[in-house]
Amino acid sequence: MLEVTFYRDGRDRLSRFCACGHAEFAEHGEDIVCAAVSAILQAARLGLEAHARIACEVEQHAGNLDLRIPEAARADAAVQAIVATAELSVEQIARQYPAHVTYRRQTG
């Protein structure tokens, strides 16, 4: 199961997202569900770094990604648009493949 959580801070601003596990929809290297979620989250990371020009705290290794948005950048419209689009996309994939992807939204 691939678990993805999007966090909001006390001001309801997107502040972090984490993904861990594997979708296990197909064999490793052929899992389109896992690849789709990974591509969305990596695109969000690249957008934050290259387009919004912010330095996020990122921990990444096989099957895990944890990205934290600096507090000073959270109110930026581009930052919120990038992360909100990723959240919406992952939420839709989780609805289509509930046995393989869990989406959560959390405040704190």
Q: Kindly report, residue by residue over 54-103, the tens digit of the pLDDT.
A: 999 999 998 899 999 999 999 999 999 999 999 999 999 999 999 999 99
| Predicted TM-score (pTM) of this structure | 0.93
| Distance of alpha carbon 31 from alpha carbon 49, whole angstroms | 27
Q: Which CATH superfamily is domain 21-107 in?
A: Cysteine protease Prp (3.30.70.1490)
**Average pLDDT along the chain:** 96
pLDDT at residue 5 above 90?
A: yes
pLDDT at residue 28 above 90?
A: no
Specify the residue for token string 């984490």: 18
| Distance of alpha carbon 19 from alpha carbon 54, whole angstroms | 20
Structure tokens at 41: 């989250």
H helices of 1-108, where? 32-46, 77-96
| Distance of alpha carbon 19 from alpha carbon 5, whole angstroms | 7
Residues 52 and 69 sit within 8 Å (Cβ to Cβ): no
